[in-house]
């Protein structure tokens, strides 16, 4: 599909028609099943200074935390017991001790027999390889915007090419890669949304999210208006048509701008993934990437699934036969906290 066709779907075709087409593609390619990924935000420490994110290193109003392994394991055990089919470990980008995180991954994979997704930012290839060997199977690294100049403006000291290069390294190491971008970013051209979809398709991502921009008051973009939920839904529907193979989440940002029906509408627009939070309640309010985040739980996820007329059945995960994991490499007895972040 050419860029002009994508732009036509984004801005010229009736929304209902685009959603109906996306629903047909979803039914043919993915069926009615919704994947439920249990999200654990294990640290809000971050060395980057992204202008839209409340975790930015210059935000002195944030109480920083990093969960101990025992806390992560307890949260993950609860998530699996309630029906999560994957554990997603998310944090700000900081100097994680690679061996500590590898130990956590190995224990999750071995103790709970669930796939592990990482969302921890850009790191050296050696760390990515270690975490893959420990058992991580997916890596989420959002490109945020396909506009190189806007990317540089939003991410001081960094360029889009670095992010794309990291995604390529992850892909070569055998990860299923995920990306994503925001809709309604200050300075964003509407036409860039087509480029975001094209970039995700060119990267061959296994998952891609598109949620509305939501400001965070302790950031330089804190006074800007939020992005449009309706436009984000249209972008999701177009992604489903353009990338029929991809898993597309109905994001927490949708649930934040529309608490009653945001995620249900995301599923109706072609989404097939939900990511309820299992971050311990004592820490959840400190993972404030944007204001008033709706911390969707498993009950909220089930309501969205039922409201969209979809289904979720937990199937026992089978580790890929080709994966070469050294048994017993990382014992699960230790439960200490990681090294302090830089």
Q: What is the pLDDT of residues 171-203, one digit of tens each?
A: 999 999 999 999 999 999 999 999 999 999 999
Q: Quote the CA–CA distance of 256 and 229 in Å, as a whole number.
A: 10
Between residues 224 and 336, the one the model is more confident about: 224
- Can you give the pLDDT at residue 284? 87
Q: Quote the CA–CA distance of 296 and 266 in Å, as a whole number.
A: 14
Mean pLDDT within 63-91: 96
Residues 32-66: tens digit of each pLDDT: 999 999 999 999 999 999 999 999 999 999 999 99
- Can you give the pLDDT at residue 86? 95
- Can you give the pLDDT at residue 226? 96
What does the CA dihedral 174, 31, 115, 165 come to, rounded to 10 degrees? 30
- DSSP letter string, 230-249: HHHHHHHHHHHHH-TTSB-B
Stated pTM of the model: 0.91
Residues 232-255: tens digit of each pLDDT: 999 999 999 999 999 999 999 999
- Can you give the pLDDT at residue 314? 59
Both tokens assigned to 263? 């995620």
Which three-class secondary structure state does DSSP give residue 128?
helix
Q: Is the pLDDT of residue 334 over 90?
A: no
* Cα distance between the two ends of the chain: 44
């Amino acid at each position: 599909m050419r860029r002009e066709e994508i732009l036509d779907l984004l801005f010229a075709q009736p929304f209902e028609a685009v959603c109906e087409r996306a629903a047909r593609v979803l039914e043919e390619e993915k069926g009615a099943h919704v994947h439920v990924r249990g999200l654990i935000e294990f640290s809000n420490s971050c060395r980057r200074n992204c202008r839209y994110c409340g975790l930015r290193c210059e935000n002195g109003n944030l109480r920083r935390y990093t969960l101990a392994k025992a806390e992560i394991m307890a949260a993950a055990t609860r998530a699996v017991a309630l029906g999560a089919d994957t554990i997603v470990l998310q944090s700000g980008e900081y100097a994680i001790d690679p061996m500590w995180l590898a130990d956590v991954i190995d224990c999750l994979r071995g103790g709970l027999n669930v796939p592990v997704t990482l969302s921890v930012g850009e790191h050296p290839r050696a760390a990515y390889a270690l975490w893959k060997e420990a058992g991580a199977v997916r890596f989420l690294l959002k490109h945020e915007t396909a506009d190189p100049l806007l990317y540089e403006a939003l991410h001081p000291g960094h360029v889009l090419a670095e992010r794309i290069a990291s995604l390529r390294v992850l892909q070569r190491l055998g990860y299923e890669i995920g990306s994503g971008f925001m809709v309604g970013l200050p300075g964003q051209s509407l036409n860039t949304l087509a480029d975001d979809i094209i970039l995700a398709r060119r990267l061959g991502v296994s998952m891609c999210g598109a949620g509305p921009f939501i400001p965070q008051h302790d950031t330089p973009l804190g006074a800007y208006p939020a992005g449009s939920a309706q436009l984000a839904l249209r972008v999701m529907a177009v992604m489903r048509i353009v990338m029929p193979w991809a898993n597309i989440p109905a994001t927490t940002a949708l649930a934040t701008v529309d608490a009653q029906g945001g995620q249900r509408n995301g599923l109706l627009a072609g989404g097939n993934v939900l990511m309820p939070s299992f971050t311990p309640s004592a820490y959840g309010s400190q993972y404030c990437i944007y204001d008033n985040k709706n911390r969707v739980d498993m009950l909220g996820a089930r309501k969205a699934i039922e409201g969209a007329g979809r289904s979720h059945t937990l199937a026992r995960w089978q580790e890929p036969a080709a994966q070469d994991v050294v048994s017993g490499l990382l014992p699960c007895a230790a439960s200490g906290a990681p090294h302090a972040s830089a």
